[in-house]
Amino acid sequence: MPALHSFIPTPSKSSVALGPFTLHMYAICILVGILVALRIGRGRYVARGGSAQTLSDVAIWVIPAGIIGGRLYHVITSPDAYFGKEGRALDALKIWNGGMGIWGAVAVGALFAFVIFRRADRGTSFALFADSLAPALLVAQAIGRWGNWFNGELFGRPLHTWWALEIPYELRPHGYENFATFHPTFLYESIWCLLAAASILLIERRYRMRDGSSFLLYIFLYCGGRIVWESLRIDSAHTIFGLRINLLLSVGLTLASGVWLWRAKRSSSRIDS
């Protein structure tokens, strides 16, 4: 099948050599996303009465914890790539090759953030701290997803249109070798994350929200979008009842956060009345 002229071709290189050092674009995208998130989160937290030093103290622990958590989640949910017949266990340490589970990063990062925050700050609530970071996390995810583009990974089903992503033959999954262009799910997620971040900012300006609601809204919006592109992806993943684990988790978190937001809104309405 002839390749279509795609809107976004996969980069021919995913790393840059600088003397004895090799800079991996995947790692750079994650790093840039973290730095931007810290800048946004610090500004929002300080504006709400928090301390910039508190955020810095928490970030020192949360950033590595989140990276480790994200990697562990990926390895646990995709063990065949590392411990299967053709897997290489040492590849589990090569984070720059791609493979970070957002659920693991958020869960482990949030746990460390809660513990460190309780020790570092007594003037504000953890819910307010989490709200300050909600849109910042989405922006970080939007930037970080471009690392998947450099690695030529996590794309969706075959797609034959002007915005399709062209994937080199050697990176195409088994059974899809004769297809040249695919859904650019990394781009879908990146755009959705930016829209979700903007939505949180707009909703905060329009409505009076209880502490913790912005972070719940982050989970609700992100997971709602994740349901769509997770259903498009064709990379190998463990399933339950024929459905990808990440898809099931996205549905569960969307429902749970939606119910929690609804209950918070009802509670606020009762207090106001």
pTM: 0.86
Task: Give the C-alpha separation, 178 to 201, whole Å.
Answer: 44
Residue type, 81: A
The strand ranges marked E within the chain are 8-9, 15-18, 21-24, 165-166, 181-182, 239-240, 243-244
- Quickly state the pLDDT bin for 135 (edges 50, 70, 90): very high
Residue that wins the pLDDT comparison between 61 and 76: 61
pLDDT for the residue 32: 94
Using 50, 70 and 90 to split pLDDT, how confident is the model at 270?
very low
How distant is the alpha carbon of residue 232 from its chain centre?
Answer: 16
Give the CA dihedral 81, 86, 89, 91, nearest 10 degrees.
-60
> How many whole angstroms separate alpha carbon 82 and alpha carbon 249?
23
Between 269 and 64, the more confident residue is 64
3-class SS of residue 179: coil
Look up residue 145 and give its two tokens.
Answer: 């997803």
- Cβ–Cβ under 8 Å, residues 53 and 148: no
| pLDDT at 142 exceeding the cut of 90 | yes
Is 96 within 8 Å of 26 (Cβ atoms)? yes
**pLDDT the model gives residue 98:** 64
Indicate the Cα dihedral angle 25, 26, 29, 35, nearest 10°. Answer: -110
DSSP string, 95-140: GGGS---HHHHHHHHHHHHHHHHHHH-SSS-HHHHHHHHHHHHHHH
pLDDT of residue 273: 45
- Given this model, what pLDDT does residue 6 score? 46
More confident of the two residues 246 and 199 = 199
User: Bridge-partner residues for 244, per DSSP?
Assistant: 239
- Which of residues 54 and 267 earns the better pLDDT score? 54
Please compute, for residue 107, the number of CA atoms within 13 A of its CA located in the half-sphere on the CB side.
14
Distance in angstroms (rounded) separating the CA atoms of residues 42 and 56: 8
Residues recorded for the chain: 273
